[in-house]
Structures are given as structure tokens and as C-alpha cells.
């Protein structure tokens, strides 16, 4: 079977969803292929733009620090103005579907996490206003009995180490398990699903009010259990007398699911054709021009022809790259996966990482090298394909973990790749 579209997007993480949204917004017919649901919907929902540069925290607005990055960095290729426009597009779409993103007034917002750390991030859902801690005299950290990876004592012991939070009086509380007889340890997603119901909302609000009567506080910190939608969060927050702050957790997250649902709703509203459980296995190319991709789907092998393609297939973890002793390649076109300086990865795989876990790891910033249009380059720097563009973790030249820049780069490169693809139609 064969399908034809203007632009074919591969990948359903933040980069893939944003690329499809931007391209469809230009009036193009878009098809989105996804192998799974991407990592966005199990994440925190925070949009990290730039938290650190060379190991030093970014002071002030993260967009103002982009010029300090290397020339090959995706942000430099997209441009500061492009990154800003891409983030505006994301905010407009997410707000339209009930998951508004907001920024702190003075730069990165420092959001308390379930591990008791402060995560620097640019855009968050309203439930993650970490700055409320900075003006609180007392804070109550709440969990639910049986909720895995959620220990108030750990959170309080770690947060009190921060000098600006040293004067806060910390308290801890546990709510009763609302799902008795659960066959496994509860995750925040389990609780959030229950809280999405009217009885669940009432249970959580009543439990928090009871905990506050026993231990008054200025702010409540809790795992992301306030429903699967922003509406449920608002209902719980309105029923509690003090502000609530949800702490990002280990996957599965809930904030990411709220954001994922908003972006997917936008694609549905724009009639984007979404094909799930599709594994791209090959490409039909004539020189530098790609005519179609071939994918294994639930309906068998299918050929997807398009005028242009956006690849947001992820890196090593996402299945976008394959490695063998001495080399790593992108899975669909066989493009070389290069280091941040444009050179090949070391011949020995053990040299792809540094002995210091906080050191510079070659694999972390490796990827497909691209130009300013997000068009892939060969190792000699010449364009490899003229109607194929890359976005997100597939792009090399940045280390999302050490920079705290993952979703920001995904949004910015997807925006640019989608516009470049539209120019081919």
C-alpha cells in the first residue's frame, strides 16, 4: 500500500509533534508516523531551554545565554529569534488545549523534584510554581501511602540544604491509599487517573485540607497526582486553602502527559493523519532526493511518499541510532552519527564516555550534523539530502542532560525543520 502527503513526520515525541503542528499550520497536508508514544508523555511536562552552560548555572533569561554556546549548537543554528518564535508557538498551542505553559519572571524557574533537588527550567505548567517556596515560612511535603519513589523525608532533608530555603520550616504527611488492593506499588499516574474522577478530586482535596489542619503550612508540595488534565489540577487547587506545587517525578510522569494530550489534540483538530505502531525500515532515495519511506505497520508494509520529510526519531535510547564496534549510524538513511565537533566517534566504544559521570561524554552530544535549515550533512560538511530535515535528539551538537536543554532544543529544531520542509512543497 502507498500513501502520499506533503510532509511526512517520523516520531511522536516533543520534536515530532511540534514539527507536525508547525507544518500543518502552514497549510500543508501532514502525516505523522509513530513507533510508540514518545518520551514526552512520561516526562515532567517542563520545557527546559537552557539551565547550564559549561557546568555553570544560567543567570537571568535563558534566551540571553544562547550566544555563549558553540557555533554548531542547534540553538545557534536556529537563531535566538527562531527559538523565541518556536517557544511562542508551543505556548499558544498548549494554552489552547488546557495545558498553559508559563515562565518565571526572572529567568529559569527552579522546580522542586521528588528527589529533593531544584530543577532549572524555562516553561512549566501552573502546578510547578517552585518560586512559591522562596517566600514561604513553612512547607508541607505530602505523599500517598504506598506511592513508590515518593518519600517526604528525603525531599525535606535535601531541600533544606539550599541556603535560600534554610529558613523554611519543613513538615511531612502521608495520605491514605485511595486504591486499596492494588496489585503493585502505586505510581503518580495511578493516583492521577483516580483524581481525574469527581470522587478522586474530592478525596485528594479533603486529604490535603485534613493534613493542613494537623500541620498548618504556607505551601504544599506533592507528587504530580492532581489529575490527568489541567482542569482537574485547577479543581484540586481551588479546594485547598494554600498554594500547591507538584514535584516532577521519575517516569511515568503526569505533567508530560497533560502536555502531550494538548499537542495531540491540536493535531487532531488540524486533521493531521497519525499512523501509530509504524516502524520505518527503509527509504527510497534518488541521489540527494528522498521519494518515500517504507514502514512496517499494523496493516503490513506500507510506502509513504512525500514532498519533504522531518525525522524526529530520537537518539540511541529512542532507536534513532544504531551502534556497532567503532561506529554509529542513523537508522533510516545510514547517516553517520558524529561528535559535537563534527568528527567520528572514537573507534573504541568504551571511549564514548568519560570515567567521570559528570564529565564530557562523546555519546551524549553525538548525532546527525545539520545546517541552519536542519538539513543533514555528510562528514565533509556537504548536504546529504535536500528534502529531509532532522529535529530533536537526532540532531547532534548539544548535551541535553548537562545543559538542561532537551525539550527546548526539540521545540526549536522542530520549528525550523518544519518550515524548511514546507519550503520544499
Backbone angles phi, psi at 309, to 5 degrees: -135, 140
The two beta strands, 169-175 and 244-246, are: unpaired
Is the pLDDT at 180 greater than 80? The verdict is: no
Which of 221, 12, 209 minimizes the C-alpha distance to 136? 221
Give the mean pLDDT of 169-174: 97
pLDDT higher for 42 or 117? 117
Peptide bond preceding 252 in cis form (omega within 30 of 0): yes
At 362 the pLDDT is 82
At 331 the pLDDT is 94
Give the mean pLDDT of 201-219: 97
Q: Which long-range contacts does 174-182 make (Cβ < 8 Å, 24+ apart)?
A: 174/142, 174/143, 174/144, 174/145, 175/142, 175/143, 175/144, 175/145, 175/204, 175/207, 175/208, 175/211, 176/144, 176/145, 176/207, 177/144, 177/145, 177/146, 178/144, 178/203, 178/204, 182/146
CB atoms within 10 A of CB 351: 11
At 326 the pLDDT is 73
Per-residue pLDDT of 365-405, as tens digits, reads 899 999 999 999 999 989 999 999 999 999 999 999 899 99
Radius of gyration of the chain (CA): 22
Residue 316 class from Cβ within 10 Å (0-12 exposed, 13-18 middle, 19+ buried)? middle
Provide the 3-class DSSP secondary structure of residue 5. strand
Is the pLDDT at 217 greater than 80? The verdict is: yes
Per-residue pLDDT of 332-373, as tens digits, reads 999 999 988 888 888 888 888 888 877 788 888 899 999 999
| Overall pTM surpassing 0.75 (yes/no) | yes
The answer to whether residues 244 and 236 touch, using CB atoms and an 8 Å cutoff, is: yes
Give the mean pLDDT of 178-202: 87
CA distance 1 to 301: 7
Three state DSSP letters for 383-394: ECCCCEEECHHH
What is the enclosing helix (H) or strand (E) of 102? strand 102-103
Is the pLDDT at 413 greater than 60? The verdict is: yes
CB atoms within 10 A of CB 213: 9
CA 360 to the chain's CA centroid: 22
309 falls in which pLDDT band (50, 70, 90)?
A: very high
Mean pLDDT, the chain, integer: 93
Which of 192, 98, 186, 92 minimizes the C-alpha distance to 145? 186
Is the pLDDT at 2 greater than 60? The verdict is: no
Is the pLDDT at 409 greater than 60? The verdict is: yes
Amino acid at each position: 500500500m502507498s500513501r502520499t502527503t506533503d510532509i511526512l513526520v517520523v516520531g511522536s515525541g516533543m520534536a515530532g509533534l511540534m514539527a507536525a503542528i508547525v507544518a500543518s499550520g502552514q497549510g500543508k497536508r501532514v502525516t505523522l508516523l509513530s513507533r510508540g508514544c514518545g518520551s514526552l508523555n512520561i516526562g515532567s511536562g517542563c520545557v527546559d531551554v537552557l539551565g547550564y552552560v559549561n557546568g555553570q548555572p544560567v543567570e537571568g533569561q535563558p534566551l540571553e545565554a544562547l550566544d555563549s554556546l558553540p557555533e554548531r549548537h542547534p540553538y545557534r543554528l536556529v537563531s535566538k529569534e527562531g527559538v523565541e518564535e518556536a517557544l511562542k508557538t508551543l505556548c499558544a498551542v498548549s494554552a489552547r488545549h488546557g495545558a498553559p505553559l508559563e515562565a518565571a519572571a526572572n529567568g529559569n524557574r527552579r522546580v522542586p523534584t521528588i528527589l529533593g533537588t531544584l530543577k532549572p527550567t524555562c516553561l512549566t505548567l501552573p502546578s510547578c510554581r517552585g518560586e512559591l517556596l522562596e517566600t514561604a515560612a513553612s512547607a508541607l511535603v505530602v505523599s500517598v501511602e504506598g506511592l513508590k519513589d515518593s518519600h517526604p523525608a528525603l525531599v525535606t532533608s535535601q531541600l533544606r540544604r539550599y541556603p535560600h530555603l534554610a529558613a523554611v520550616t519543613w513538615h511531612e504527611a502521608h495520605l491514605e491509599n485511595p486504591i486499596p488492593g492494588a496489585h503493585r506499588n502505586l505510581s503518580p499516574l495511578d493516583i492521577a487517573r483516580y483524581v481525574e474522577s469527581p470522587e478522586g478530586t474530592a478525596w485528594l482535596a479533603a486529604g490535603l485540607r485534613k493534613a493542613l489542619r494537623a500541620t498548618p503550612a504556607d505551601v504544599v508540595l506533592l507528587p504530580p497526582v492532581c489529575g490527568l488534565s489541567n482542569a482537574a489540577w485547577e479543581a484540586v487547587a481551588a479546594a485547598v486553602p494554600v498554594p500547591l506545587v507538584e514535584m516532577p517525578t521519575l517516569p511515568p510522569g503526569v505533567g508530560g502527559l497533560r502536555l502531550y494530550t494538548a499537542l495531540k489534540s491540536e493535531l487532531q483538530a488540524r486533521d493531521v493523519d497519525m499512523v501509530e505502531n509504524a516502524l520505518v525500515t527503509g527509504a527510497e532515495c534518488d541521489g540527494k532526493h528522498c521519494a518515500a519511506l517504507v514502514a512496517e505497520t499494523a496493516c503490513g508494509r506500507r510506502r509513504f511518499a512525500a514532498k519533504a520529510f522531518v525525522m524526529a526519531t530520537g537518539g540511541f535510547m529512542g532507536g534513532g541510532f544504531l551502534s556497532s564496534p567503532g561506529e554509529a549510524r542513523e537508522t533510516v538513511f545510514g547517516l553517520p552519527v558524529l561528535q559535537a565537533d563534527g568528527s567520528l566517534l572514537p573507534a573504541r566504544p568504551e571511549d564514548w564516555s568519560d570515567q567521570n559521570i559528570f564529565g564530557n561524554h562523546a555519546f551524549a552530544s553525538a548525532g546527525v550534523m545539520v545546517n541552519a535549515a536542519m538539513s543533514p550533512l555528510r562528514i565533509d560538511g556537504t548536504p546529504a539530502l535536500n528534502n529531509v530535515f532532522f529535529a530533536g535528539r537526532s540532531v547532534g551538537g548539544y548535551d541535553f542532560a548537562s545543559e538542561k536543554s532537551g525539550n527546548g532544543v526539540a521545540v526549536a529544531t522542530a520549528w525550523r525543520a518544519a518550515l524548511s520542509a514546507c519550503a520544499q512543497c
